[in-house]
Amino acid sequence: MKKKIMALIMAGVIAASLAACGGNSGAASTDSAAEEKTEEAAEEEAATEEAAAEEPTAEAGAVSEYLADGVLTVGTNPEFPPFEYMGDDGNPDGFDIALINAIGEKLGVDVVVESYNFNSLVESIGSKIDVSIAGMTVTEERKQAVDFSDSYYEAIQSVIVKKDSAIASADDLKGKSLGCQLGTTGDFIIQDIEGAENHQYDRGVDAVNDLLNDKVEAVIIDRNPAAVFQAQYPDDLKIISGEDFGFETELYAIAMPKGDTALADAINGALAELKADGTFDKLVEEYINE
Ligand code: GLN
């Protein structure tokens, strides 16, 4: 009885494999070539996977301690429109806030946004806050203290001056009294300008107010907030692009605790997904281009 069942099963197996062969015969050459290729590709894939598994950084499935509690605490400085500003409801709003909320959604964690002075954000990462999103430029100096995500925006410093100002080139900034937001790349630029008197403010808007009051002769600040501030005083202020002064372009990124590759992978993965699915561009339109 047993033998008979085995025989029946074997017959079935043989029939099935014959049928499979027959099915292939019509386009035998192309199909088998394709099959060989797929096999090759599969082998290659397996090889790369193995190689990746050997890399010490690729701890597949590792979850960052900063995400494991289900809450991502994010520091920002809501004085930097259109990237972050105080919303009408008293909570930070803006492009960066929408972006980090979308990232949190992708990662399945709640995002809690807290407000800090820009100058204290970097030192608070990994202790008071998990990460920071604040139109923050990737710099070598900051990289000593934090890691940066893939960058999500390219910017440059602008120079805001009174409409009747004669300032037009890098040489014109020498020896002038200049305003900036403390601890920003605009601040670092002023520190390198020969003879310049550096007036550092906690908020960029305060520097702009002192420009209006003739306490400083120019304000150096990122292009997008410069446009927002100037637009509030179109009759009094004008903007000159940093390109005219030889300033370098800057890249904004999310600042994260140093060495947490699981967190970096998660955030970069979410950012890539948001770019691929159109969410990122929608936010650019909504907050920056409108
Ligand atoms: N991008 C500038 C910097 O990183 C300014 C950022 C800001 O003021 N929020 O220093």
- Crossing angle of helices 261-276 and 95-107, rounded to 10°: 110
Query: In this structure, which residue's CA is closest to atom 7 in ligand 1?
Result: 135
Is the shortest distance between the CB of 184 and ligand 1 below 6 Å? yes
Phi/psi for 167 (5° steps) reads -65, 125
Assigned CATH for 71-154+251-289:
3.40.190.10
Q: Closest Cα partner for 77 from 45, 124, 39?
A: 124
DSSP-based three-state secondary structure for 217: coil
Judge if the beta carbon of residue 81 lies within 6 A of ligand 1: no
Mean per-residue pLDDT of the chain: 87
pLDDT of residue 118: 98
Q: Per-domain residue ranges for the chain?
A: 71-154+251-289, 157-248
Counting atoms of ligand 1 from 1, which one is nearest the CA of 250? 1
DSSP 8-state assignment for residue 63: -
What distances in angstroms separate CA 110 from CA 64, 105, 113, 143, one per listed residue?
15, 7, 10, 26
CATH code linked to domain 157-248: 3.40.190.10
pLDDT tens profile 201-226: 999 999 999 999 999 999 999 999 99
Do 71-154+251-289 and 157-248 share a fold?
A: yes
**Nearest CA, atom 5, ligand 1:** 184
- Over residues 24-50, the pLDDT tens digits come to 333 334 444 444 545 555 565 555 555
Please tell me the distance between residue 141's alpha carbon and the centre of ligand 1 in angstroms.
Answer: 14
Residue 75 CB partners (closer than 8 Å, separation 6+)? 113, 114, 115, 116, 121, 124, 125, 128, 129, 131, 132, 134
Q: pTM for the full model?
A: 0.80
Atom from ligand 1 closest to the CA of residue 187: 10
Rounded distance between C-alpha atoms, residue 279 and residue 100, angstroms: 12
Distance 187 CA to ligand 1 centre (A): 9
Q: Which atom of ligand 1 is nearest to the CA of 181?
A: 8
> H or E stretch including 112?
strand 110-115
Report whether residue 77 contacts ligand 1, using a CB cutoff of 6 Å: yes
Is ligand 1 within 6 A of the CB of residue 80? yes
Low-confidence ranges of the chain (pLDDT < 50): 1-35, 37, 51-58
Question: Which candidate, 260, 266, 213, places its Cα nearest to that of 100?
Answer: 266
State residue 62's pLDDT score: 84
Cα 138 to Cα 83, 148, 253: the distances in Å are: 16, 7, 6
